[in-house]
Amino acid sequence: MLIETPATISGTDSSLPVGFTKADLVCFSHLRWDFVFQRPQHLLRRAARDRRVFFVEEPIFDDGTMRLEIMEREGGVQVVVPHLPKGLSSKVAHDAVLRDLVLHLISSKNMVDYVAWYYTPMALSFTSDLNPRAVIYDCMDELSAFKGAPLALQTLEQDLFKKADLVFTGGRSLHAVKQKQHSDVHCFPSSIDCEHFKTARTLEEEPDDQRDIAHPRLGFFGVIDERFDIQLLDEVATRRSDWNFVLLGPVVKIDPETLPKHDNIHYLGGKSYQDLPQYIAGWDVALLLFANNEATKFISPTKTPEYLAAGKPVVSTPITDVVRPYGEMKLVEIASGSDEFIAAVERALNPEEERADWLARVDDFLSLTSWDDTWSQMSDLIDSAIEKKSSSIRPQARGMSTYAGPAGI
């Protein structure tokens, strides 16, 4: 089967933009850009300020032709969506087509100098022959512990460690594991766009779907999946029918019918990043309702500093990267089991410490980090890695400008 080169890419032209000073960045992700706004969006939107950024998603299978759809998102990130035919069932054929599409993307966009950035090791199966200036693995989760994780993931991660020039981790507990597997691992825990969430401290207008929910309101936003503690929510909501639980976010990888159904639990669905402060403003307590399982062993929830920036007391199950530092610094209440959780929420609703004193400690802590600072440090490390590596790479070998188009499959 032949892929016709002119029809392969749609959405933008291939001319080089003016004003970019850094090597292009091609990211391979298991997450979709428009799904939930989280770590990749925070980092790559900042990367796009001085470099072209292409965010390559996992393929969509449909009845159309094999092609790449490219859509520009806010901040200038180019979201690249491969479209493959439904009948392409063979993994070998699947990877061969993706390999050709990615090579053609690099060629058509005149990427002579580029960095390959991975969120998923699975992408290595069709990108192993790329020749970037540097390879970065931003390990934000222990993906092999997630429900439905591919069997090949751990093997491909080991291959990625061999290729990577730098490894970043999304939390301290993950860093402790990954630093044993690579010589240059840097910990960049969840950061914060503080000013965005601080607006929740002064907002008064209620969203329509939350306005009529009675107080006290206990809120959660994020993906509701196998990491979510369904049993704990059920027990606490049953025992405290006077509390209302507001849950924002999509339900994925679990049957929605397994979620507890009570009059005081309100599933409001996914909300945009821009709208989150308006919802949080109307909560009395923010929750981190994570179960104790393999999928949560190494997570570092981005929502922890976001809740705090909004000025809300937070109650969390004992997630390692929440206990340390937030629990140890008494910024977040930590509770295990329904008895402790109920007691912790009661303390959050009626704090012994003056709110102004607690908020001052919160703001002091949050002032130490930001997504701007995080990206600046990452970018400096990438520049150093490129400089270190460039002396051993012939300039003409780095780009893909001589690529003549997809091969027959």
To which CATH superfamily is domain 194-366 assigned? Glycogen Phosphorylase B; (3.40.50.2000)
Which residue type, as a one-letter code, is found at position 148?
G
Distance between CA atoms of 47 and 55, rounded to whole angstroms? 11
Question: Does 148 have pLDDT greater than 90?
Answer: no
Residue 393 predicted with pLDDT over 60: no
The pLDDT, as a whole number, for residue 89 is 63
Whole-angstrom distance, CA of residue 32 vs CA of residue 78:
12
The pLDDT of residue 286 is: 98
Q: Which residue has the tokens 């027990």?
A: 235
**Per-residue pLDDT band at 39 (split at 50, 70, 90):** very high
pLDDT at 93: 79
Per-residue b or e along 364-403, where b marks 16 or more CB atoms closer than 10 Å to that residue's CB: ebbeebbbeebbeebbebbeebbeeeeeeeeeeebbbeee
SS3 366: helix
DSSP codes of every residue in 137-154 = EEE-S-GGGSTT--TTHH
Q: Do domains 5-191+370-398 and 194-366 have the same CATH topology?
A: yes
Residues 6 or more apart whose CB falls under 8 angstroms from that of 44 comprise: 25, 27, 53, 55, 75, 77, 117
Domain parsing of the chain, residue ranges? 5-191+370-398, 194-366
Q: Rounding to the nearest 10 degrees, give the CA dihedral for residues 16, 382, 39, 66.
A: 40
Determine the 3-state secondary structure of 319 from DSSP: coil
Please report the pLDDT score of residue 18 as a whole number.
56
Q: What is the CATH number of domain 5-191+370-398?
A: 3.40.50.2000
Q: Measured between alpha carbons, how far is 267 from 269 in angstroms, rounded to an integer?
A: 6
Strand 333-334's sheet: what is its strand order?
A: 265-269, 244-248, 217-221, 285-288, 314-316, 333-334
Q: Is the pLDDT of residue 135 over 80?
A: yes
- For residue range 57-102, what is the model confidence (pLDDT) as tens digits? 999 988 878 899 999 999 999 999 999 988 776 677 789 999 999 9
What per-residue confidence (pLDDT) applies to 63? 81
Q: What is the mean pLDDT of the chain?
A: 90
Evaluate if residue 374 carries a pLDDT over 80: yes
pLDDT of 16 reads: 45
Express each pLDDT in 221-275 by its tens digit.
999 999 999 999 999 999 999 999 999 999 999 999 999 999 999 999 999 999 9
